[in-house]
Amino acid sequence: MLRFLTAALALAAFPPLALAQAWPGQPIRFIVPFTPGTGIDIIARTAGPRLAARLGQPVVVENRAGASGNIGTELVAKAKPDGHTILVTASTFVSNRSLFKNLPYDPAKDFAPITLSAWGTLLVAAHPSVPYASVAELIAAAKAYPGKLNYGSPGVGTPHHLAMELFKNVAAIDVVHIPYKGTAGAVTDLLGGQIHLMFLPIHVALPQVRAGKLKALAVGSPRRSTLAPELPTLAESGFPGVESDIWYAFFAPQGTPREVISRLNAELKTLLALPEIRKSFQAQGLEPVSSTPEAVRALVEKDLAKWDRVVREAKISPE
């Protein structure tokens, strides 16, 4: 009896360590707060089986879409912080705080970052009929005819929309926003010349650019993309600070033991460096990366400030 009591007291004194040593003790859930087929979903379903093989427990991908990702994200924020429920998400996780007044989670306080998983590049694409072939010419046209040019997006508050509003802010131009209900309609109208330009994911835009159906003006990355190294960045075009890449990352609920976070970080870093994962991600226009949890947290804080400013100054509110 005394031995049992001693063991119980020791476990109570060090619950996080005991939990970390027993982890994982059940299947792990990857919560994807968007529909199947998205970049986030591809990352989760590519990494999940390999992580399961390394940890000896199944990894189940659950799509909990709705409310611009807020439903699935809230689920993870309120989950037991034991390392068995993981959020696989993108930078909209951060920008949503600026868009929704009553967000049911705090991206800075309610989550423990694990690692970045990928970067997705957005580029500025225009219909071939528009009379400019560079960012400088676009700016000149927008300033000569304020409010006459327009751009499309998959909807209010999407990365495509926020990226253009950031660009408009830095370049001090007036370009009219035309929101669509999804990417397909916007791309169709861009290809048809009904709208003038748009920020598009590089893997969506490049096939159309190379077929001569669109023209690419610049990428919104801090560096040129390996998928299209011939395209200048917006910074090279005279607009530093317009960084509009979409980042992807893994998060656990706040309070998850540090030992579990460290193990997940190490395992995911190993997976993300595998050649087959790099090839799979790059086919979707994603550049696989990994990072420390601290680097993710710094990125969250930086983007919270950036998108708060953009949303406030552009007076954006979700539909």
pLDDT tens track for 43-64: 999 999 999 999 999 999 999 9
At residue 252, the 3 state secondary structure works out as strand
Per-residue pLDDT band at 319 (split at 50, 70, 90):
low
Q: Tell me whether residue 302 is in a domain.
A: yes
Q: Tell me whether residue 66 is in a domain.
A: yes
Q: Report the mean per-residue pLDDT for the chain.
A: 91
Beta bridge partners of 200: 123
Q: Tell me whether residue 50 is in a domain.
A: yes
First to last CA, the chain: 63
Same-domain status, 81 and 126: no
**Between 59 and 37, residue with greater pLDDT:** 59
Residue 200 token pair: 């598009």
**Amino acid of residue 144:** A
Same-domain status, 114 and 146: no
Q: Quick: pLDDT tens for 268-284.
A: 999 999 999 999 998 88
Query: Which burial class, exposed, middle or buried, applies to 275 when counting CB atoms under 10 A from its CB (0-12, 13-18, 19+)?
Result: exposed
Same-domain status, 154 and 141: yes
Q: Tell me whether residue 238 is in a domain.
A: no
Among 8-17, 208-217, 293-302, the least confident range: 8-17
Same-domain status, 199 and 54: no
Q: Which domain holds residue 275?
A: 14-120+245-314
Same-domain status, 252 and 113: yes
Q: State pTM to two decimals.
A: 0.87
Same-domain status, 26 and 173: no
Q: What is the DSSP letter of 22?
A: H
Instruction: Of 79, 92, 74, 87, give the one whose Cα is nearest residue 113.
Output: 87
Same-domain status, 114 and 62: yes
Same-domain status, 141 and 106: no
Q: Quick: pLDDT tens for 96-133.
A: 999 998 899 999 999 999 999 999 999 999 999 998 88
The CATH number given to whatever domain includes residue 209 is: 3.40.190.10
Same-domain status, 150 and 70: no
**Domain termination site, one of 219, 235, 259:** 219
Domain tally, the chain: 2
Same-domain status, 183 and 150: yes
The share of the chain scoring above pLDDT 90, in percent, equals: 79
Per-residue pLDDT band at 22 (split at 50, 70, 90):
confident
In angstroms, the CA 239 to CA 13 distance is 55
Q: Tell me whether residue 230 is in a domain.
A: no
Same-domain status, 173 and 82: no
Same-domain status, 161 and 72: no
Contacts of residue 53, defined as CB under 8 A and 6 or more positions apart, other chains included, come to none
